[in-house]
Amino acid sequence: MRTPIIIGNWKLNNTIAEGLALATEIKNRVAATRHVDVAIAPVFTSIAPIAQRLADSSVSVAGQNCYWESSGAWTGEVSPQLLHDAGARYCIVGHSERRQYYGDTNVDVGRKAFAIIDATLTAIICVGETHAERTNNQTNDIIQKQIDGAFSAISSQQLTHVVVAYEPVWAIGTGNTATPDQAQTTIASIRTILSKRYGSPQADTLRIQYGGSVSPKNALDILSKPDIDGALVGGASLKADSFVEIVKAATLTVAATPMVR
Ligand code: PEP
């Protein structure tokens, strides 16, 4: 019984006015959607106004990153507590762009993930291998290390406040989507890794998304796979048409398996 979750990662895009317009259109167009969770992750400066605009809707707001300290002399940082105060209910952590360009290590991701949950947000923990790592058959080893770091302080009771996003680095923003079978196989391995850590009942209830060039064209095939519980969407989340189509694809997978979901 896992509810699919579609999250739009807007990255460094959209002014407050542009973000409000996009968020409002998404809110209106997914208003009738049932059994699929929807969230958008705007830039920090837009979180509060967009969260206010979405307050009476089914669309939630997420941060794209945060720091692990709650307050203090950390110039330029934003804490999960402040994200919550601004109206966010989720926060992405460990995105490959953070790991690649800002040096976020597996240990950092673990600290941030724990802080996010401690602030009563849900952590969207991103993991995924580079092209070279996949070619060298290191995918499972890399993901095992990323999970060891990210989940180091997370208890099994806290797993209800975690979503994992499997995002192969080679698929992000490239148009080279993983095939549905590749995504399913790796996500099933992630579930196995987590079931070794927490037990299978816990791992079976944890949601694991796929991310990497998801579009209206490939969403249904990807989201129909049994272990894939939604999508983290970058480029296609910047237009209401494509984002809403992906949400619709997720609703079709729920309707297709009414006895399971
Ligand atoms: C992302 O950045 O999380 C992402 C999945 O981007 P895109 O959909 O553009 O590949």
35 is catalytic: no
User: What's the 111 CA to ligand 1 centre distance in angstroms?
Assistant: 23
Ligand 1: atom nearest CA of 174 is 10
Q: How many CB atoms lie within 10 A of CB 71?
A: 10
Among all chains, which residue has been given the structure tokens 């976020």? 104
| Residue 214 CB less than 6 A away from ligand 1 | yes
- Kindly state the average pLDDT of the residues 22-43: 97
| Mean per-residue pLDDT over the chain, rounded | 96
Question: What distance in Å separates the CA atoms of residue 159 and residue 122, rounded to the nearest whole number?
Answer: 9
| pLDDT (0 to 100) of residue 261 | 39
Altogether, the residues listed in the chain come to a count of 261
Q: Is residue 3's pLDDT more than 80?
A: yes
Question: Would you say 117 and 158 are in contact if contact means Cβ atoms under 8 Å apart?
Answer: yes
Please identify which of the residues 95, 97, 129, 133 carries the catalytic annotation: 95
Among 172, 215, 217, 223, residue to substitute to test ligand 1 (most atoms within 8 Å of Cβ):
172
pTM over 0.85: yes
User: What's the 36 CA to ligand 1 centre distance in angstroms?
Assistant: 19
**Closest CA relative to residue 222, chosen from 181, 190, 188:** 181
| pLDDT (0 to 100) of residue 257 | 57
- Kindly state the average pLDDT of the residues 63-74: 98
18 is catalytic: no
CA distances from residue 147 to 97, 143, 165 in whole angstroms, order as listed: 17, 6, 11
* Helix runs in 54-207, H state only: 80-86, 96-102, 106-118, 131-135, 139-150, 180-198, 200-205
Q: What is the pLDDT of residues 69-86, one digit of tens each?
A: 999 999 999 999 999 999
Among all chains, which residue has been given the structure tokens 């259109």? 25
State the helix-helix crossing angle for 139-150 and 106-118, rounded to 10 degrees. 40
Question: What distance in Å separates the CA atoms of residue 173 and residue 192, rounded to the nearest whole number?
Answer: 27
| Residue 234 CB less than 6 A away from ligand 1 | yes
Question: What distance in Å separates the CA atoms of residue 96 and residue 112, rounded to the nearest whole number?
Answer: 15
Decide if domain 5-256 falls under CATH 3.40.1280.10: no
- Kindly state the average pLDDT of the residues 232-242: 98
State whether residue 225 is helix, strand or coil. Answer: coil
Number of H helices, E strands in the chain: 11, 8
Q: What is the pLDDT of residues 119-173, one digit of tens each?
A: 999 999 999 999 999 999 999 999 999 999 999 999 999 999 999 999 999 999 9
Q: What is the pLDDT of residues 101-125, one digit of tens each?
A: 999 999 999 999 999 999 999 999 9
Domain ranges of the chain: 5-256
Among 43, 98, 99, 232, residue to substitute to test ligand 1 (most atoms within 8 Å of Cβ):
232
